[in-house]
């Protein structure tokens, strides 16, 4: 069963290999909590194909600042270390899956 990867500044390089979705979120954020089960489902569906990751902006403010995250949830898509897309706000599972599939 796939599980998302919890990223910190120490292991963020993990997201820069291959295709990755990084969800910048916080525990107090209502839309982030709504998106959480979708992220879990995507982690299962894309296991072995793409990395599904989360960054808690309360704990990793430096990463949020580095990637210009001003509102959450923010989903940033990486391919081979490059930022190739970004979605801000709660998104449908289909919209996120379509973006990941377009990068594979």
Query: Which tokens belong to 100?
Result: 């990941």
| pLDDT score for 100 | 98
- Residue ranges making up the domain that contains 70: 5-102
- The total number of structural domains that make up the chain: 1
Q: Collapsing DSSP states into helix, strand and coil, what is residue 37?
A: helix
Tell me the per-residue pLDDT of 53-82, one tens digit each, with 9 for 90 and over: 999 999 999 999 999 999 999 999 999 999
In this predicted structure, the answer to whether residue 1 has a pLDDT above a threshold of 70 is no
CATH number for the domain that contains residue 93: 3.40.30.10
Question: Largest alpha-carbon pair distance within the chain?
Answer: 32
Question: Confidence band (pLDDT; 50, 70, 90) for 14?
Answer: confident
Kindly list the catalytic residues.
29, 32
Tell me how far apart the alpha carbons of residues 25 and 73 are, in angstroms, rounded to a whole number.
Answer: 5
Triad 62, 102, 23: Cα angle to 5°: 25
DSSP state of 80: T
């Amino acid at each position: 069963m796939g599980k998302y990867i919890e990223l910190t500044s120490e292991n963020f390089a993990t997201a820069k290999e291959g295709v990755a979705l990084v969800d910048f979120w916080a525990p107090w954020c209502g839309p982030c909590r709504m998106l959480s089960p979708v992220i879990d489902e995507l982690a299962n569906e894309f296991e072995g194909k793409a990395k599904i990751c989360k960054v808690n902006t309360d704990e990793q403010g430096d990463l949020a600042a580095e990637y210009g995250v001003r509102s959450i949830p923010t989903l940033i898509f990486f391919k081979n270390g490059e930022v190739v897309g970004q979605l801000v706000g709660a998104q449908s599972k289909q919209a996120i899956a379509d973006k990941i599939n377009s990068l594979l």
